[in-house]
Amino acid sequence: MSHHSRARTPYAYPMPSPAHPAQPNAASQSLTRQFISMPQPDTFIEYFSTWRGRLIRIAGLGRWPCDDIELERQEAQHWLLRLLLGFPFVGPVIEVLNGQKAVPRVLDVATSSGAWAIDMAESFPYAEVVGTDTMPVQPDMVPENCEFDLVDLDGDLPYDDASFDLVHLRFTHLRVVSFSSLLTSAMRILRPHGLILIFDSEGPPILSDNTTTTGVRAWSDAFTKSLKRAGMTAFNLKRVLELLRQNQVVGSDVLVPIGHGEGRIRQLGAIHLINTKAYLEAARFMMVEYGGYTDAEVDVLSDAYMKDVTEKKMYTR
């Protein structure tokens, strides 16, 4: 059984004991947690180059910033979703991991800073959690049941058939040449009755009526054009569903407010607004180096985007 999720599904389970703290204060403190481990100088050029003072990953098809600024953005993104959803996952994860006779195994593909893998290892201390990536930027100090592997994400995942109960694919479409090949590999290593979680953004931010704005659309079109010139494609839900058509699929949406909301959600929206600006700045590399845009053009597009998401009540979906 495979499970596709882009958002919160109507599952409400108690966390296993001992549970990872899910209180807003505890998770908010984690927003500023620093556990980024950069490679040693003798291996630096194997994984990274530099661009205007920023560290750029060179492994894989599409290059992208992967310095402290970007990894902290990804870390904040993880805890933003953690607070919004209440869990580091969606769907019947607890049922799947608790229903195994053998030690349950979890794989986090394109783990980056390892935030999700570490969160899951802390939440499920009886499970084995493995994070995979093409670059060594994961922390050195992790739970005993968590480890990281450096792998080629564009090749077949180097694990035995039916060896994982849960495979997590979050924001991976910009990390691989072929998402469909990655998904096929993920299904191969999934144990019977296991779960594949796919979590990604689809399309540009929207208003409450499902339309978008001129400024947001202009930047998004330019970014999509840049991706295509780099040989990459944006997340395509329709294509994913076609690949999973012979499996049991459950999907749902969540709207993440950008800079607005009530009560605690307003605080999350403020964090998301800051993260959105950091994302646009990270995307500058792709738009200049692959899209052929000048810095002045990127500035105009980014300013219009930020003006719209700041002044209007918009959501990432």
Residue ranges per structural domain of the chain = 24-316
Phi-psi region of 112 (alpha: psi -120 to 50; beta: other; left: phi over 0): left
Domain 24-316 fold: Rossmann fold (3.40.50)
18: cis peptide before it, omega within 30°? yes
Q: For residue 257, list its beta bridge partners.
A: 315
The pLDDT value given to residue 246: 59
Q: Are 99 and 193 in contact, with CB atoms under 8 Å apart? A: yes
* pLDDT, one tens digit for every residue, the chain (317 residues): 333 332 322 222 333 433 333 332 333 333 333 344 445 556 677 889 999 999 999 876 668 999 999 999 999 999 999 988 888 998 899 999 998 789 999 999 999 999 999 999 999 999 999 999 998 999 889 999 999 999 999 889 999 999 999 999 998 877 887 888 888 999 999 999 999 998 888 789 999 999 999 999 999 999 999 988 988 877 666 766 676 665 666 666 778 999 999 998 999 999 999 999 999 999 999 999 999 999 999 999 999 999 999 999 999 98
What is the spatial distance between Cα 132 and Cα 259, in angstroms, rounded to a whole number? 32
Cβ neighbours for 18, distance < 8 A, ≥ 6 positions apart = 125
The pLDDT value given to residue 43: 63
Length of the chain: 317
The pLDDT value given to residue 91: 87
Q: Are strands 54-57 and 64-65 parallel, antiparallel or unpaired?
A: antiparallel
CA neighbor of 307 nearest in space, from 180, 218, 194: 218
245 alpha-carbon distance from chain centroid: 23
